[in-house]
Amino acid sequence: MATSFTVGTSPNLPLGPGFSRDVIRVGVIGYGYWGPNIVRNFQGHEKADVVAVCDKNPKSLARVRRAHPEVPVTSDQMEVLTSTQVDVVAVVTPVWTHFELAKLALENGKHVFVEKPFTCTTAQAEQLIELADRKNLKIMVDHTFLFTGAVKRIKQLVDDGTLGALYYYDSTRVNLGLFQHDCNVIWDLAPHDLSIMDHLIMAKPEAVVATGANHLNGHADVAFLTIYYPNNLIAHINVNWLSPVKVRTTLLGGEKKMLVWNDLEADEKLKVYDRGVQMMSGEAVYQQLVSYRTGDMWSPNIEQIEALKVEASYFIDCIRNNKRPFNDGEAGLRIVRMLEAADESLKQKGRVVQV
């Protein structure tokens, strides 16, 4: 059993007496694009310590040492997964490794923070949920967007009835690259919208239609999803790795008000429009009258805290107070179920797949 995480010339901080049991000890596996943010935010939390970072790439470990000289590093996942000094394992690796790493972590009695998407299959997700429940451990799936000021504000506007009954959710999430070699553009970009929709729309989706095309590496790089919900609520997601411009815009249409969320705006990310349409039946078929409402627009000020900081803090709180996070394994499973259905539909050029 490993008791230290030293690699090469990294400083060897002793674990143990130096760390109060009040503090949740986090081991991070994977220090690529997103890992540094995970380490920084858990390390910045006063009730958490990052006690190990693992990555197979020596250059990544060198980056850890530069940014966090006080944090031990290792290239051996098992050291983190089996250490008695670790309470939480954060799995920040490619999706196809999530299941194995999370399973090992849970089996070794660690809580698990996993990158989205949760797993490659619903079967894997169900197995992890069952395992965590049995061992009374927490799973949090990193649906970071749910902790942004923008989504929290939209959630309020939906929940307090400001928008009225929802008509549609329509998101465009396109940019040039980054091509993934192990998944298509849907698995890369759509989980953001799928998790936001899961959070905002308190209804079970009924069916998925996915279309798309691949041009470069055999995976779909342009794709379009339609998701049917009850009561004629329809959702649509446009994802594209081949767009010359970056777009992050979501339209949310409601009976009472409509909303545009442009996440690339520095200020005024959200605009709420007092606009709508009402039908008034006349006597004859051609007298069907339409009344349009065009009122003020309003851009609510939104909280500016880093989403991942809020999320890390929430996870620490859930562990310390034995609460189930809303972005738990079940939430992760719901997204994986949609992704599986989308893949099935995509393979058949857009066949409707019930979920």
Chain positions 266 to 305 lying near a second copy, rule: CB under 8 A, are: 266-268, 271, 273-279, 285-286, 288, 290, 292, 294-301
DSSP for residue 322: T
Write out the binding residues for a second copy, residues 85-124 only, by CB under 8 A. none
Contacts of range 199-202, beta carbons closer than 8 Å, 24 or more positions apart: 199/143, 199/146, 199/151, 199/155, 199/326, 199/331, 200/151, 200/154, 200/155, 200/158, 200/166, 200/169, 200/252, 201/158, 201/166, 201/169, 201/229, 201/233, 201/235
Question: How many chain residues are in contact with a second copy, going by CB under 8 A?
Answer: 72
Nearer to a second copy, 159 or 274 (CB): 274
Q: Are 140 and 113 in contact (CB under 8 A)?
A: yes
Q: Can you tell me whether residue 91 is helix, strand or coil?
A: strand
- Minimum distance between the CB of residue 238 and a second copy, rounded to whole angstroms? 7
Nearer to a second copy, 170 or 344 (CB): 170
Q: Scan for tokens 């998101």, then name that residue.
A: 171
- Minimum distance between the CB of residue 125 and a second copy, rounded to whole angstroms? 24
Nearer to a second copy, 65 or 111 (CB): 65
Q: Quick check: 215 binds a second copy (CB under 8 A)?
A: yes
Out of 217, 256, 305, 323, name the contact with a second copy by CB under 8 A: 217
| CB-based contacts of 285, cutoff 8 Å, min separation 6 | none
Write out the binding residues for a second copy, residues 144-183 only, by CB under 8 A. 167-168, 170, 172, 174, 176-179, 181
The Cα–Cα gap between 178 and 347 comes to 22
Write out the binding residues for a second copy, residues 219-238 only, by CB under 8 A. 222, 224, 226, 228, 232-234, 236, 238
- Minimum distance between the CB of residue 275 and a second copy, rounded to whole angstroms? 5
The Cα–Cα gap between 304 and 327 comes to 21
| Identity of the residue numbered 35 | G
- Minimum distance between the CB of residue 327 and a second copy, rounded to whole angstroms? 28
Out of 85, 119, 184, 240, name the contact with a second copy by CB under 8 A: 240
Nearer to a second copy, 106 or 339 (CB): 339
Distances (CA, A) of 14 to 72, 198, 344: 9, 43, 50
Q: Quick check: 260 binds a second copy (CB under 8 A)?
A: yes
Nearest to 136 by CA among 103, 118, 110: 110
The two tokens of residue 269 are: 């990310």
- Minimum distance between the CB of residue 7 and a second copy, rounded to whole angstroms? 18
- Minimum distance between the CB of residue 82 and a second copy, rounded to whole angstroms? 26
DSSP for residue 15: P
Taking residues 303 to 342 in sequence order and writing x for each that binds a second copy by CB under 8 A, - otherwise, the string is ----------------------------------------
Residue 244: is the preceding peptide bond cis (ω within 30°)? no
Nearer to a second copy, 12 or 217 (CB): 217
Q: Quick check: 244 binds a second copy (CB under 8 A)?
A: yes
Out of 246, 320, 323, 324, name the contact with a second copy by CB under 8 A: 246
